[in-house]
Amino acid sequence: MRTLHTADIVLPMGGAPLIERGGVVVDGDGTILAVGEREHLGSAFDAELHHGILMPGVLNAHVHLTDARREERVPGGDGLNAWVRRLMAARGEEATRDAARAAVPLNDAVAAALLEMKRAGTVAIGEVANNYGTFDAIARSGMHCRFIHELIGFRGVRAAAILEAALESEAATAFPRTIHHTLAAHAPYSVSPGLMQLIAETAGGRGRRFHQHLAEDPAERELYMHGGGPWRDYLEQVGAWDDAWVPPGSGPIAFYEKAGLLSERFVAVHLAEATRDELATLGRHGVRAILSPASNLHITGLLPDLEAIVREGIPFALGTDGRGSGLGVDVFEEAHILLQRWPDLPPGILLQALTDVAADTLELPGLGRLAVGAQPGLLALDLAVPGPDLRQVERAVITSGADRRYLHQPAAS
């Protein structure tokens, strides 16, 4: 079964220019057989369909499906520390309802969220989780996934044991071909320098990237500068403070640079509070970013300095984060926020953030590009096309709304 999809505009991504009056030939399992101008694609097809715009399926690079059952956002606006305290209290209440069998099963909520993502054009996620509670539902859904096991531990003496437990749970898990593993360090205020080193070494030894929430909120800088502030209070209250830890007297980014932790393996999530100098440092070391502006606006009201991120050449992808900070799972909405705030970015950079740059960041190389031989999922947008100008096409795609997107994707075997 060979189907020709034609479109006014085809966006192959991966550095290839847009194609006017283009087409994409796919076979029955979704493998791309040809991409090009319609007139060069011949006529040997079993079916032909026409669309406004064609592009690869998109990637939602940072989600926390652990919170998929949440029906309301955890109130925010007064900083990350206050929000985390409320999130932990809400998770505690959920655990009580679980014990009483009064909660929606997590598997059902994860499956529903993944279906909603698929309907919005998503073919892959970066799932960030402290445990494997969401794993089975993701595996059953057929969604491609970088399963990012996020480790937490501020007390230095526990670092080796925390890593060992993570490697044991990985070894005990059967990974289907759609799910790949990597590690994350939760955040500078919750991960000791020793654990950070172990995560970086383990990821490096496997040739993998590792992820971390970084510069999400000013309080982590306060902790690293002076050893005080709301994170110290919190860590003491939950019994996680380390009396042996000495604050480095700089922000975490300068500290990580000195410790040799910044590299192209490092994926920094948020960067909402990073200064221009810090972004220049990250750019110099080849660090990548995942931005989650809806979550930032809810929790702290800060947005990352996207002009500086672009100027420093930091590749960025996008993620909708957890339902505690944003109920939506449509990653196009994240691009929409950035487009509204920065309408004059280099044309195409937000489309890349949704597709090829996200695939590179999550190390899922078969996705994010309409490449011959690949199965990236074909996303059709039922739109009136504004002409071949990339900036206008990008705006039309990002403001399209999920109801005008149709994902042609074979069921995962």
- Of 83 and 135, the one with the shorter C-beta distance to Zn ion is 83
Q: How far is the CB of 293 from Zn ion (least distance, A)?
A: 13
Edge-to-edge strand order for the sheet containing 288-291? 316-318, 288-291, 266-270, 210-214, 179-185, 144-151, 122-129, 58-64, 321-322
Instruction: Report the distance separating Cα 357 and Cα 296, nearest Å.
Output: 21
Q: Which residues pair with 268 in a beta bridge?
A: 212, 289
Q: How far is the CB of 174 from Zn ion (least distance, A)?
A: 26
Please answer whether residues 58 and 355 qualify as being in contact, where contact means their C-beta atoms are separated by less than 8 angstroms.
yes
> b vs e for 244-259, b when ≥16 Cβ sit within 10 Å of the residue's Cβ?
ebeebeebbbbbbbee
- Of 129 and 306, the one with the shorter C-beta distance to Zn ion is 129
Q: How far is the CB of 214 from Zn ion (least distance, A)?
A: 11
Site residues (vs Zn ion, CB under 5 A): 321
Q: How far is the CB of 66 from Zn ion (least distance, A)?
A: 10
- Of 362 and 396, the one with the shorter C-beta distance to Zn ion is 362
Q: How far is the CB of 128 from Zn ion (least distance, A)?
A: 6
Residues 6+ apart with CB under 8 A from 70: 90, 322, 323, 324, 327
- Of 38 and 211, the one with the shorter C-beta distance to Zn ion is 211
Q: How far is the CB of 64 from Zn ion (least distance, A)?
A: 6
- Of 321 and 330, the one with the shorter C-beta distance to Zn ion is 321
Q: Count CB atoms within 10 A of the CB of residue 141.
A: 19
Residues 6+ apart with CB under 8 A from 110: 65, 68, 134, 137, 138, 141
Q: How far is the CB of 323 from Zn ion (least distance, A)?
A: 11
Q: How far is the CB of 292 from Zn ion (least distance, A)?
A: 7
Residues 6+ apart with CB under 8 A from 164: none
- Of 312 and 321, the one with the shorter C-beta distance to Zn ion is 321
Instruction: Report the distance separating Cα 30 and Cα 410, nearest Å.
Output: 6
- Of 179 and 267, the one with the shorter C-beta distance to Zn ion is 267
Please answer whether residues 345 and 354 qualify as being in contact, where contact means their C-beta atoms are separated by less than 8 angstroms.
no
Residues in the chain: 413
Instruction: Report the distance separating Cα 124 and Cα 145, nearest Å.
Output: 5
- Of 148 and 380, the one with the shorter C-beta distance to Zn ion is 148
Shortest-Cβ-distance residue relative to Zn ion: 321
